[in-house]
Structure 1
Amino acid sequence: MHGNGPAWPAGSDPAALTASLRTAHETFVTTGTLPRGIRTVVADSWVRSARSGVDPESPAPTVDLTDAELVAYRRNHPLGAALPIVRRLLVEGGVGEGIVAALTDENGRLLWVDGDPAVRRQLDGVGFVEGASWGEEQTGTNAPGTALATRTPVQVFAAEHFTRSVHPWSCTAAPVRDPSTGRVLGVLDVTGRDHLASPLVLRLVTATVMAVELEIAAARAAEGAPPRRFRERGSTSVRPPELARLDVLGTAGGVLRLGVEAAALGVDGAGDGVGAGGVRLDAAGDWVAVRGHRAADGGHQLSLRHAEMLLLLATHPRGLSVDELAVLLHPGDLSDVTVRAEVSRLRRVVGPLLGPSRPYRLAAPVTTDVHDVRRALARGDLLGALAQYAGPVLPRSVAPGVEQLRDELCAELRSAVLASADAVAVERWVATDEGTEDWHAWQHLMSLCTTGSPPWVRARGRLERLGRSFGSGLRRPGR
């Protein structure tokens, strides 16, 4: 067994793992004893499920809304803006056939369920249907319910589910939060067979949640929800700040580009930032800028550390505590004192763009080229996404939070490419650093091209070379 590690450890035999988990599950439900080796998140959930009186033989999700009431409830739910993104990234091309994606509300009620029709019909049999409540207190250990209970991303593999009728399924879920307040709005879940508890799927789900949260923020801005306002001293005009853009794709450090409002706020990209004075919040909550600050001109090259910190804050709009920032920045131990010193140095560069309170958060949204790629993917513009993809996210960074973001974005692009029937898009992917050694992408390109055409010949030649490098005994990687 695997302690507190991944639900499906790399290289493990899913059949053997399932059998071991079923034995452990039987021990717990019949004796109340927790066998050693069960992952902590699962063991804790089993205990909560038993205390709630959940029947381990079958889940009992309630459906307490009529169809009309559910339609009305969904119409006004903030996750409504997320549905097109979820369909695009997960259902239509994310991890392939055989999956069902679902969005719940903050109580575990399934608002939308979409995906493979055959899988949906089978899941109907255990009550995994729109309108049903899948909180732990009703259905026991399951990814959406346990993600809500723990407020963290969760994977549940096979017999880790508390109820036996759900043992054939595996699932991955992550909370979706309000970008402004950090409040959990609901959960994004994918359910299917064993592969739905793999590390790759966890990265895809958490990346999709990030795209969903960005879309919620954008939808609110489009509806006129006012961000913090900006005006010059002595002026009666009020307008939303257009502060900054951070480019991190394919660069050794980041490039910060500032708008005129950022310059007026004293963020000049040259180190004097807020220390130069001339900006404050007035009683109305408006930024008030002093005239005469030096304006930003073009982009400012950030150090790798400052680029890492700004990127992490830009992708965690609800803010990061000192401890969270330390974990995301360094693979080893990083003291609170060191983190505070790093934040202080960053503040001298970006000034009031970095808010004064804790947890550390940005005073206004900072867009990034990572966001641009994900927006293009979400609207189905794969060629646009590839055109904006200048390379891996901060390729020299070893910060765990950045490495995760780098892997997620690469996985999203690759999944979209492998699901695409556009040979031009596949050609663009195999021309990237990540795509040039991608066996399956070259094989996909070959299948899309006319036999004997130049792309077909190039793809076949590359596959032969890759086959030699992988060894004569291998037909393809991973097989």
Structure 2
Amino acid sequence: MAVADQAARRGDDPRSAVRAVHDLFVAGQIDASHLDTVPVRRVVAESWQRSLATGVDPDRGGAEQPATRTLDELRASHPLAPALPVIRRLLVRDASEAGVVVAVTAADGTLLWVEGDPHALRRAEAMNFAAGADWSERRAGTNAPGTALALDRELQIHGSEHFSRIVQPWSCTAVPVHDPVTGVLLGAIDLTGGAEVATAQTLALVRATAVAVENHLALLALTRQVAPLTTRPRLTVLGADRPRWTVTGADGRSHPSTLTGRHADILVLLSRHPEGVSADRLAMMLNDNDLDAVTIRAEVSRLRRVIGADRVASRPYRLLAPIDSDAADVLDALRRGDVAAAMNAYPGELLPQSVAPAIARLRTELSTSLRASVLATGSLALLRRWLDLPEGRDDREGWRILHDSAPGYSERATARGHLAGLDLDIG
């Protein structure tokens, strides 16, 4: 504790004390247990601990993103792109003459746009605070946009509170931005500069900009919802991807919306019960312990904001018009006896993350029906495709059939090895 106390007393400037504590912490001379007794905010101390645990280099800035997609592709497809003019009008225009930079990040910490004062931009680039770099907390350590995204809360980081020493001459203020319909975290807006950008006034300005952006996105979402549709809405609920609701406008463009797990559960159940279900029955379908009617009404109300108020009726809850879905495509193909088409439409289980009892039953019914149909065809090609699915990897009977029926030695050997692994797991 003597080392920590010495760091806390070093100099009259609190920033110097924080810098001294940071140096000792990074050097391993004090540990996390000392951070409660020195002049470091808890939110910062906890971020330092996470940064150290994930191996962040305290002498580096942001990290380069892997080139899986170009920056232009990321920008063009990002939900915050339509709101960029709002951000430029409210923040960037003034920042260009104030020695600060404005950054807009994706939810994973990637800097999408970095604009502002030309001199400040050149200084920021020296620590790789530039478009395309990863400034998530796990890669760049404690910093306002990265830590704000990690915690999903607005945050200011003052100079020496940054984990990376190269960033400590700067201060920053960041506010997360959410999808106004689904509540999903989209990214953050950050203002980076000198000590003056970590004030209450700056926080209020960035917060107001985030609110303006969310309002702008809400207006765009409302415009999409009221646009005339040329096809049925489509629900995508199979496989590991996030469930989606997609509508096609009169212009032929698709407008997908990501759904929460609970909203996807409700839509699947309503599509399977066109006659409608009461609030009490829907509660039992969604949770073994039942949900109260107030919770059900709130969830359906939020769902209506995503898909349109005219889509779901009450008393009982039911869909007012038919919808298409990938799950229905599989069932329709099985009813026609077209097992190949069913396999083509089946990327994986129905809402695999859902724990709703009724969804679990439908998931099992769909998977079991498809498996039985595949085995009944006697087609090794379809059987191989089934065994390639996550749920087919533990299908011992399927692997045994492949082993006994495959014409080639290599395929039989692969099946034999897989069976041996399954037997080892079972013991």
Question: Scaled by the length of structure 1, what TM-score is found?
Answer: 0.44
* Higher gyration radius (CA): 2
Question: Scaled by the length of structure 2, what TM-score is found?
Answer: 0.49
Between structures 1 and 2, the one with greater helix share: 2
Using CA pairs under 8 Å that are at least 6 residues apart, name the structure with larger relative contact order, 1 or 2: 1
